[in-house]
Chains A and B, each alone.
Chain A
Amino acid sequence: MIYVVNFPFCNFFSLERYLRVRGRPYQILSLRDRLSSSDQVLLPGVGTFGQAMSYLRDQQLAPLLQDHVDQGGSLLGICLGMQILFEFSEESPGISGLGFLAGGCVPLPTALSFHVPHIGWNHLVSPPKKSSCSELFDFLPLGGLSRSDYYFVHSYVVKPSDSSVISACFEHPVGPLCASVHARNISGVQFHPEKSGPDGYALLDQLLDVNSNA
């Protein structure tokens, strides 16, 4: 079963459409739910780091998520949902994230050819020092670019302490920045596959299938 955390200010209806169109049964996650390791939890999210963590604390969902991850259950964070997998964000100083992955979120640097917020479609590139072969992203052999573009909308970017968890990057004048992470049973994407048309839906299919086999 897929469980969705229904944050306020989240892209729930976009995700709900994907799950409905693809015929994937789901439930809204609540404190009463007893998750098994074969369940998958989706953390969507739009808004601020502080708002999202405050919701999880108020609903007492953070310990539930921790137990799920500890039991080997898979977790997929989308956009803000990926950022809160980490320990902190400079967007909301003093507020701790879920801390499932080491590192935090920092403001996206502004540049002449890169306006912030990063709003719009962008391609992915394979992370530095990793081969272009990826279970998830079909990087082109020449140049290491993804075959499709995905929709981004964010002002902060994740900076993992362990760069080996980065599974894809987006290009920025300062160098490649983290676009997705994958470590054990936890994965996250900074962009919105549920808003990226048929190519995004196909990627979500893969993300959920890979996670269910993890």
Chain B
Amino acid sequence: MKKRIIPSILLRGGTQVCLSQQFTPWRTVGVLAQNLRLHVKRSADELLIINLDQAGSCNQFVCPERVLRLIRQDVDIPISYAGGIRTAADAALCINAGFDKVYITSAFIDDPTALKSIADVVGSQSLGLIFPYMRKDDGGMRVWDYRTRLFTNSTVQLSIETSVTLGVGEVILYDVSRDGTLTGFDPLVVADVEKCQPSIPILLAGGAGDADDICRVLSSPWIQGITASSIFALTEATPVTIRQRCVDHNIPMRRCAHLNQ
């Protein structure tokens, strides 16, 4: 299996792209059209759009038409959506509209069993979970509710096990305390994931500062990819340069014949 480099695009105010720090929107760095074209051109393995306008909202879910138009115009690689999806109908709307996968957070925190009906409709391979987490004083990883900005009662390990039984196909572990800091990934997270031995792909987010940070986590057979945004906006790293560094460390990465021509 090849490891994946996935730029995440945080949207607010329609199609404005912003960066976040510790799950708080921080600064606007461009617009969606420009970001999509840049990431596709730089040979990203996938893209993840996180729509902050809808995240955590209890309003009727609406698949943003302007976003869809740009994706259909510019994207020839897999693209996922997160933000405001709570039901199977919401998820189906996104998949039918052109997204390949949807990611859920708050619906799982509120009622984990809701995931089963979503997985039954769109299939496990099209359903992912994003677990924002922080470490408690005892070092344990707890799922963190970004709406209340408080810990939930669930450990990340137990939540991963639950999500697998409910039919989730992939999990992103998002370290809130390192989000937007460029200081490297949680140094304990790989060991914690290895203890769980999950059967589904696990991706990491929060803290990627340079290619070496990414190599360190992707060298584990239990981590299938990383997602990041600040590193692509604030440093010179691109998916191509990161991939090359990983290959130098014997990490299996996607090969693109068109880049060698």
Contact = CB atoms under 8 A, between A and B. Distances in A.
B11 to A, nearest CB: 19
Interface string A185-214: 000000010111111111000000000000
Interface stretch (B28-36, B106-114, B121-129, B183-191): B121-129
A195 B201 contact: no
Interface in A1-31: 8-14, 16-18, 21
Highest count of chain A CB atoms <10 Å: which of B100, B124, B221, B254: B254
B201 A153 contact: no
A62 to B, nearest CB: 21
Contact of A148 (B3, B92, B256): B256
Contacts of B92: 8-9
B250 to A, nearest CB: 14
Contacts of B125: 46, 117, 119, 153-155
A121 B256 CA distance: 10
Interface in A99-124: 110, 112-123
Interface string A125-163: 000000000000000000000011101011100000000
Given A115-B224, A148-B255, A195 B124 contact: no
A9 B258 contact: no
Given A149-B256, A153-B125, A122 B1 contact: yes
A110 B100 contact: no
B95 interface: yes
A196 B73 CA distance: 15
A199 B257 contact: yes
Given A121-B2, A121-B4, A123-B255, A197 B98 contact: no
A115 B200 contact: yes
A201 B77 CA distance: 11
Contacts of B124: 117, 155
A114 B1 contact: yes
B4 A113 contact: no
Highest count of chain B CB atoms <10 Å: which of A18, A147, A201: A147
A18 B200 contact: no
B77 A197 contact: yes
Contact of B45 (A47, A118, A120): A120
Contacts of A11: 100
B78 A48 contact: no
Contacts of A10: 96
A46 B123 contact: yes
B137 interface: no
Interface size band for B: 35 or more
Interface in B221-261: 221, 224-225, 254-258
A47 B76 contact: no
A147 B97 contact: no
Contacts of A14: 76, 98, 100
Given A9-B96, A46-B123, A154-B125, A195 B78 contact: yes
B175 interface: no
Nearest to A148: B257
A121 B3 CA distance: 8
Contacts of A202: 258
A116 B72 contact: no
B170 A147 contact: no
A119 B101 CA distance: 11
Contacts of B73: 17
Contacts of A114: 1
Contacts of A123: 2, 255
B57 interface: no
Contact of A200 (B43, B76, B95, B225): B76
B67 to A, nearest CB: 12
B123 A155 contact: yes
Given A46-B100, A48-B123, A117-B124, A197 B258 contact: yes
9 contacts: A113-B1, A117-B200, A119-B169, A120-B45, A121-B4, A147-B257, A148-B257, A195-B100, A197-B43
Interface of B: 1-4, 40, 43, 45, 71-73, 75-78, 92, 95-98, 100-101, 121-126, 169-170, 198-201, 221, 224-225, 254-258
9 shortest A-B CB distances, which residue pairs? A13-B98, A121-B254, A117-B125, A198-B258, A148-B257, A121-B2, A147-B257, A117-B169, A149-B254
